[in-house]
Homo-oligomer: A and B are copies of this chain.
């Protein structure tokens, strides 16, 4: 039913996606009427009688709208009818419904949202969490690191992607108590050979591409992501304004067009659309609510690639491999239960 723009955008993206991926099949979940016009040999309709609205509280989405398109889509994953679900809807509702229907993997207490940001090395840095958890313990951050490593290994085809802990300095004494303790856990995981932990990283390392995976709590990750998006759009706006100032700058824009369009492409957040909800017993991807056709197709492609590359299985294997370590840490965690329980109020990410 598709985020801010509805089926008009999602259906067009679906058609493009099917054309580009001859092996893919789609289940279109939603109100029958708006989806009725779509016909394709590899697409079928799964009806739902309700839609979760962007401003529905999580409780409403979870408890009252039991036949929402979002819920029915995730049921397809739970029941093995679909390999992965993609939604451009309300993030908080999506996370809550996914968590309720799919449950978390053994060893994972909190699912996390992971996305990729372009870096100076021409690749992308995977960052998690981006808003599912506004208060994390050190143990949660350790779990995120393992989930991020699994995603990174699928994305990069590298079995031991490097993991950094987002902090305000590289030295181990930096940060608050949670971060310092997370650093200890991550170093222990490195020393036992379970994780390629590269130490603390800072905000600029996300874009430098210092490590493959950056781990942080959802509050910090969300702010960093949105601040970067804000800066990028200010820069694009500035260039547009300056290049259209007069006839000379307009001519300059024509000359500089190849470079400017390369920059625009590089900074185009649509190309990085599609965040993974990690830590669940099923694959769910979240598209930006404001996604246009290009962006929504990108989310479909990411979800498809993740499913085809057995992300879920790799996650399970990696978490299972790390299970003794995770269990040991959970058992000795001194303050985990003292933190405010706030995981159930997910963030506004990707609204």
> What residues of chain A have their CB less than 8 Å away from a CB belonging to chain B?
118-120, 131, 134-135, 166, 168-171, 173-177, 179, 202-208, 216, 218-220, 222-235, 237-239, 242-243, 245, 248-249, 251-253, 255-259, 262-263, 266-267, 340, 342, 345, 347-349, 351
Identify which of A207, A257, A266 gathers the most chain B CB atoms within 10 Å of its CB: A207
Find chain B residues with CB under 8 A from A202 CB.
222-223, 226, 348
- Give the complex CA separation of A263 and B218 in angstroms: 32
- Give the complex CA separation of A19 and B234 in angstroms: 35
Identify which of A237, A239, A252, A345 gathers the most chain B CB atoms within 10 Å of its CB: A252
* B263 in contact with A252 (CB, 8 Å): no
* A168 in contact with B255 (CB, 8 Å): no
* B227 in contact with A168 (CB, 8 Å): no
Find chain B residues with CB under 8 A from A220 CB.
219-220, 223
State which of B226, B233, B242, B253 has its C-beta within 8 Å of the C-beta of A263.
B242
* B234 in contact with A231 (CB, 8 Å): no
* B252 in contact with A239 (CB, 8 Å): no
* A222 in contact with B203 (CB, 8 Å): yes
Closest to A246 in B: B258
Please, could you name 26 A-B residue pairs with CB atoms under 8 Å apart, sorted by A? A134-B168, A134-B175, A134-B176, A134-B179, A168-B226, A170-B348, A173-B345, A174-B347, A179-B219, A204-B233, A205-B230, A206-B227, A207-B233, A208-B234, A216-B223, A223-B223, A224-B224, A238-B266, A239-B259, A245-B259, A249-B259, A251-B255, A252-B252, A252-B255, A252-B259, A256-B259
- Give the complex CA separation of A181 and B120 in angstroms: 39
Q: How far is the CB of A128 from chain B (nearest CB, A)?
A: 14
* A263 in contact with B235 (CB, 8 Å): yes
Copy number in the complex reads 2
Find chain B residues with CB under 8 A from A252 CB.
252, 255-259
Q: How far is the CB of A210 from chain B (nearest CB, A)?
A: 10
* A223 in contact with B168 (CB, 8 Å): yes
- Give the complex CA separation of A322 and B289 in angstroms: 41
Find chain B residues with CB under 8 A from A207 CB.
227, 230-231, 233-234
- Give the complex CA separation of A258 and B245 in angstroms: 11
* A203 in contact with B177 (CB, 8 Å): no
Closest to A237 in B: B120
Find chain B residues with CB under 8 A from A218 CB.
168
- Give the complex CA separation of A174 and B245 in angstroms: 40
Known pairs A168-B348, A255-B255; A224 contacts B222 (CB<8 A)? no
Apart from A134-B179, A176-B340, what are 19 other A-B pairs with CB-CB below 8 Å?
A: A134-B175, A168-B223, A168-B348, A170-B348, A173-B345, A174-B347, A176-B219, A202-B226, A203-B222, A204-B229, A205-B230, A206-B230, A207-B233, A228-B228, A243-B256, A249-B258, A252-B252, A252-B257, A252-B258
